Amino acid sequence: MPTGTAIRDVPRQLFDAAERVLLQGGPNALTSRAVTTEAGCAKGVLHRHFADFDAFLAELVMDRLGQIRNQARALQNAAGTNTVADNLTKALTDLFGSVAVAIVSLVTARDELRNRLHQAGSSGVPVLTEATAMIASYLTAEREQGRIAPDADVDTLALTLIGAGHLLFAGRQGVAPKTGEVHKVVTSVIADAAR
């Protein structure tokens, strides 16, 4: 990018570039140089907006957590529509079909990033923790509507669905499982709880 050219919404451009680098090369490929090169800007641009690279990565993760919160609202609004299994299949596919699996790898690979996220109040692996809360909240709403058994342990179901979903999508090098595969796992997990 030529010197003196204004860049609009620098953090967003850098986050999007970081996602592309992360998806193409994994956590080890994610460096400040790789991000700024992908974004088409000078390396100093990143450091003008963030204290250091780990601060940038922490903000990237927090930004992605915001996206999961948006998805959680949409899933909550879907309670009572379609089937529970269809809604969960879509939610898991949307979640793990995005950059979430790569973000999980990034967080587990970088101790300093994990420490910063924990200092900011995140627990566990933040993307998975937030996603588990999203699924548990949805299942609670469905339980209130009578579509999930009243005695169903929604927290355990949510943990199981997120774990299974992560395993289905992880390590596939951009080739997502078929919707039918995800649906089969979802229906198996919720079989005893669904009405």
Q: What domains are defined for the chain?
A: 1-49 (1.10.10), 63-190 (1.10.357)
Q: Comparing 42-56, 57-71, 94-108, which segment has the lowest mean pLDDT? A: 94-108
Q: Comparing 8-22, 26-40, 52-66, 116-130, which segment has the lowest mean pLDDT? A: 116-130
Within a 10 A sphere around the Cβ of 89, how many other Cβ atoms?
A: 23
pLDDT of 141 reads 97
pLDDT of 185 reads 97
Q: What b/e string do you get for 139-150 counting C-beta neighbours within 10 Å, with b at 16 or more? A: bbbbbeeebbee
Q: Is the pLDDT of residue 75 over 90?
A: yes
pLDDT of 3 reads 45
Q: Model-level pTM greater than 0.75?
A: yes
Mean pLDDT, the chain, rounded, equals 90
Tokens (6 digits) for 102: 């790569």
pLDDT of 26 reads 85
Tokens (6 digits) for 84: 């529970």
pLDDT of 174 reads 65
Average confidence (pLDDT) over 137-141: 98
Tokens (6 digits) for 130: 């937030």
pLDDT of 4 reads 44
**pLDDT, tens digit (0-9, with 9 covering 90-100), for 82-132:** 999 999 999 999 998 778 888 888 998 888 898 888 888 777 788 899 999
pLDDT of 7 reads 56
> Among all chains, which residue has been given the structure tokens 């990237």?
60
Q: Is the pLDDT of residue 5 over 50?
A: no
